[in-house]
Structure formats: C-alpha cells, structure tokens
Amino acid sequence: MRFGILAHSAEGAALCFLTFCREGFRRMGPHMHPDVMLDCAALAHAMPAWDAGDHQTVRAILADGVQRLAEGGCDFFACPDNTAHIALELAGQPLALPGLNIGDVVAEDAKNRGMRRVAVLGTRFTMDGPVYQRALPAVGIEPRFPSAEERADIDWVIFDELVEGVFSDESRRRYIEIIARLKRDDGCDGVALVCTEIPLLITPDVSPLPTLDSTRLLARAAFEVATGERPMPTWRGGPIAG
C-alpha cells in the first residue's frame, strides 16, 4: 500500500510527511513506515487563481498532482491543505485516486472528543469558504469564525510568515488572543487549526482551547488506511452530500 501526499504548501506537506513516517516508527518499529510519495507543485502557480476566485483552475492544478501520484504507484492520496479542499470539492472529473477529505477527518475527531462548538482558524479562503461550514454541522457541531479584523490578522500571518517558515512570538500572541476571545465570547470548546501550518505556531500547551490539528490528524488517518486499520477512502473529489 502506497500513500500519496498531494502538497499545496511546503510547510504543511512536510509536517504531514514527517507525522506519517514517525507514526510508523512508533507503531511498526525503527525506520519502518508504509510507502509514501509526495507531489508538490509550487504554491505560486496557484496563487493568481486563488486571488481571482478561479477555483476550477486550482482544481486542475491539484488534479494533475493526483495523476502524478497515481502514475507513481500510489493507492490513495490526502491533501494536507484545508484551503485546497474548496477546489477539490468542486464538481468535475473524478480524480485519479481516491482520497481522504481533511474536513471530514477533523470533524470526526471533534465529534469523538465530545466537542459541540468549534472555532475555525485558517486562511481567509477557508474561513469564508464552505468546507467546515459543511463538515462540522454534518456531525452535529457548530462552527464559529473569527471577526473580520481577526480573520485579516490570521490570514496575514499565514501568507506572510507561516508558509515561508517564519514563526514569531508576536504572531503567536495574536493567535492566542483570538482563540481566547472565541472561547470567552462565543463559548467555543475546541479550536480547529485548519491551515496546515498553524499547528507549528500554536501548540496544545499554549492554546486556550483544546486543538484539532488538521495536519497531524490527516497524516494519522492516512497511516491507518495504509495499515488496514481504516477503510480505503472512496471520495475522488467533488461535492460531499451533507
């Protein structure tokens, strides 16, 4: 069984890869993990389409990556990029491989942990988009989102710092402030860190709320598929019925 990582940003994909491999070291023994491949077209190729709201072009870029993973012998894929799922969930030709949906993996863990109202922190595209407005209510959880000002700050940190590998104390303090407000004012009992780089900035020991680390949750779900502990996914892109 070979797992394919469909990268969209370098930091998040690297974290997914390392988490997957380290899960193997922990559970299978030294130096052992299921086979894994990573395909990474530079994010710069897709950014003009994201800025223009041209999600079909983004989907085409991602579909090419899935095709390359299929040609490399992968049996299934996962994309450790929450924003990319806005494009992946669009109607279109079926992808070349079945894949895990990151929104559903996060929602499953939130439900299993008894969460009822979850703060959602990600890119402006993800916070404004449909992925978590679908996935969380589908399991009976209410999503809550930061204010417009907070969203702007969160998004700036992601694109100007996190995806470039910059993790500053000032930005960490701002994120903690936002999470604390969502806990206090909105009654959230968990926070979904649904930009795959945010868990590198906000760790469970500093977060005012229990965290849902979308990157690591996805990697561990992929490990379970690769080892036969979780069913093979059937989703090949496109809308998911609520």
Residue 64 is predicted with a pLDDT of 98
Residue 11 is predicted with a pLDDT of 83
- 238's CB contacts (< 8 A; 6+ apart) are 89, 90, 91, 92, 94
Residue 233 is predicted with a pLDDT of 97
Distance between CA atoms of residues 6 and 74, nearest Å: 11
Distance between CA atoms of residues 132 and 5, nearest Å: 21
Distance between CA atoms of residues 116 and 188, nearest Å: 8
Residue 155 is predicted with a pLDDT of 95
Q: In a structure prediction context, what are the per-residue pLDDT tens digits for the chain, which is 242 residues long? A: 999 999 998 888 999 999 999 999 999 999 999 999 999 999 999 999 999 999 999 999 999 999 999 999 999 999 999 999 999 999 999 999 999 999 999 999 999 999 999 999 999 999 999 999 999 999 999 999 999 999 999 999 999 998 888 999 999 999 999 999 999 999 999 999 998 889 889 999 999 999 999 999 999 999 999 999 999 999 999 998 75
Residue 164 is predicted with a pLDDT of 86
For residue 185, count other CB atoms closer than 10 A to its CB: 10
- The torsion defined by the Cα of 165, 159, 16 and 130, in degrees rounded to 10, comes to 170
- 141's CB contacts (< 8 A; 6+ apart) are 107, 110, 111, 115, 116, 117, 118
